[in-house]
Amino acid sequence: MAIDFTLTPQQRELQLSARDFAGKALADVGKTIRHLPTAEERFLATRPAYEDVVAQGWLRKVIPAPAGGEGNGMVDLALIAEEFYAVDANVSLTLFASLLGLLPVLNAGSPDQVQQTLRPFLSGTGAPLAAFCHSEPGGIANFDEPVPAEGTRTTAVLDGDQWVINGAKQWISSATGWDSKGADILTVVCRTDPNPQTRAAADHSLSVLLVPTPDHGFVSDENFETMGHRGHLTPRFHFENVRVPRENVLGEVGGGKALVEASFAGTAALVGIFGVGLMRSAFDFTLAFAKRERRAGRVPIIEHQAVGYALADAKIAIETARYLSWKACNALDHELPSALELAVQAKIYGSETAVKVITDLMRVVGIDSYNHNLPLAGLLQDAIVLPLFDGGNMGVRRRQLHSLLASPDYDSLDTVTT
């Protein structure tokens, strides 16, 4: 048996390159957006940094090589995500949310769909955005529920050779684009069998449609003022008779449930890494603070046992979350049977641990950490959403793990042996 968390020379180079780029290109984003009054203004102010991300090839690096990008798997994505998130969560989330928006295309698109859709995302120019349109007003944890539950409420009805889409979506990263007219690519989860008498089987009633920026019928309703990720846009919008060609279904008609689950399984482990990046930034600041500050005492506060214990506990938690997330990413890369369970565990543990660790580090710094002149308050604001988005831990993620545990053929050692 070999257990090895050593990065390859190529991965170490990728890690250091991502760290260098993030330190130079993303470090000032928070200051730039801090005093802008609206969500839209803050989002627009991040565009130059995002354009730099694209121009320097980082969007290509997160797109898999088989699709024309330079990505070599989930572990490499985790390395990039940690380095970016440790510096700025806003542009980082815009980047990885665009990857999520492309995942249904990458997972189920035809060769022509993949080629046509990814062309602007591989060009290295501009600021292309993709959005995975899943969440809806009123909640979507039970998106696949059959009647009498509502489940997914956005519908797509065939009219000749076109799908006609109607319905509302919200909390969809970057979905309204830079101009409120829609992202370059929308992958939209719809009910393509809206007849209540025939949609009892949710496995066959949902589909994901590929929707380029609509010419008409895309209506932006509200840009939410969120607690954290202040420079990232999560709007509410709706479709009014938006039409796309019949062939714009990704995969099979009725195959949407499996496609949604596959897309989110691929990002769950990255949410754990987002938490690692935020914790790492908080830890580095607090460690430097503890070595420097005496707080009117005789010695730097790191000399006090309680402070040392708090820092040690934080570092242990960071390492644990990182390695669990790396293991999950490795399992996803190798399509191991344990991949889904590990990804869900990484998402839950990394996200919830980030909130606790940053809160504990704020206690080390004291009341000054409540001031936005120091970074910890902002890091906590960014961390709080991690247990809630990409499938909330209390609902979708814990339900998935519960379902795995309740399965008659569940083996608790699968995650050890695979």
Q: Which residues are catalytic?
A: 390
* Shared-domain flag, residues 194 and 326: no
3-state secondary structure of 413: coil
**How many CB atoms sit inside 10 A of residue 158's CB?**
11
Give how many domains the chain has, as a whole number. Answer: 3
Clarify whether residues 14 and 119 are in a common domain: yes
Residue 398: is its pLDDT beyond 90? no
Q: Is residue 3 part of a domain?
A: no
Domain harbouring 264, CATH code: 1.20.140.10
- The C-alpha atoms of residue 285 and residue 14 are separated, in whole angstroms, by 24
For a pLDDT cut of 70, what percent of the chain falls above it? Answer: 96
Q: Which domain holds residue 385?
A: 258-417
**Angle at CA 78, nearest 5°, toward 32 and 97?**
55
pLDDT of residue 11: 96
Is the pLDDT at 417 greater than 90? The verdict is no
In a domain, 303, yes or no: yes
**What residues pair up with 167 in beta bridges, in sequence order?**
239
Q: Which residues contact 91 (CB under 8 A, 6 or more apart)?
A: 26, 29, 46, 49, 50, 53, 84, 231, 232
Per the domain annotation, does 176 fall within a domain?
yes
Does residue 113 form part of some domain? yes
Question: pTM higher than 0.85, yes or no?
Answer: yes
276 shares a domain with 250 = no
Last residue of a domain, one of 214, 235, 254: 254
Q: Which two tokens stand for residue 187?
A: 């992958």
How far, in Å, CA of 190 to CA of 196, rounded? 14
CA distance 240 to 59: 31
pLDDT digits (tens, 9 = 90+) for 189-221: 999 986 655 555 666 789 999 999 999 999 999
**Quick check: 1 pLDDT over 50?**
no
* Phi, psi dihedrals of residue 228, rounded to the nearest 5°: -125, -175
Query: Which of 224, 254, 284 is the last residue in one of the domains?
Result: 254
Same domain assignment for residues 273 and 340: yes
Residues 84, 181 contacting (CB under 8 angstroms): no
Using DSSP, state whether 189 is helix, strand or coil: strand
* Distance, first Cα to last Cα, the chain: 11
Q: Look up residue 331 and give its two tokens.
A: 């399992």
The answer to whether 328 and 343 have CB atoms below 8 angstroms apart is yes
Locus of tokens 């209506």: 219
Q: What is the pLDDT of residue 418?
A: 61
pLDDT-derived band of residue 150, with 50, 70 and 90 as boundaries? confident
Same structural domain for residues 125 and 135?
A: no
Q: Are residues 200 and 349 in the same domain?
A: no
Residue 105, pLDDT > 70, answer yes
Determine, yes or no, domain membership for 312.
yes
> What is the C-alpha to C-alpha distance for residues 53 and 63, in angstroms, rounded to an integer?
13
Q: Which residue has the tokens 């830890």?
A: 283
Are 263 and 249 members of one domain? no
Q: Report, as an integer, the average pLDDT of 240-259.
A: 94
For residue 261, the model assigns a pLDDT of 87
Indicate if 191 and 162 belong to the same structural domain. Answer: yes
- Domain assignment present for 2: no
| Residue 241 falls inside a structural domain | yes
Query: CA 234 to CA 137: how far, in whole Å?
Result: 13
Cα(393)–Cα(387) distance, integer angstroms? 5
Same domain, 34 and 120: yes
Q: Which of 142, 25, 144 is nearest to 80 (CA)?
A: 25
Q: Among 254, 276, 311, give the residue marking a domain's end.
A: 254
pLDDT of residue 7: 92
Q: Exposed/middle/buried for 25, CB within 10 Å: 0-12, 13-18, 19+? A: buried
Question: DSSP strand E in 27-154: where?
Answer: 130-133
4 within domain boundaries? no
The C-alpha atoms of residue 310 and residue 39 are separated, in whole angstroms, by 35
Which of 152, 141, 96 is closest to 391 using CA atoms?
A: 141
Q: Across all residues in the chain, what is the average pLDDT?
A: 93
Distance CA 395, CA 352 (A): 14
Q: Could you tell me if 406 and 274 lie in one domain?
A: yes
pLDDT in tens, 57-104: 999 999 999 999 999 999 999 999 999 999 999 999 999 999 999 999
User: Does one domain contain both 187 and 159?
Assistant: yes
Which residues have CB under 8 Å from 53's CB, separation 6+? 25, 59, 91, 95
Domain of residue 108, CATH code: 1.10.540.10
Decide if pLDDT at 373 tops 70. Answer: yes
Q: Which CATH number characterizes residue 240's domain?
A: 2.40.110.10
User: Are residues 277 and 299 both part of a single domain?
Assistant: yes
3 state SS of 188: strand
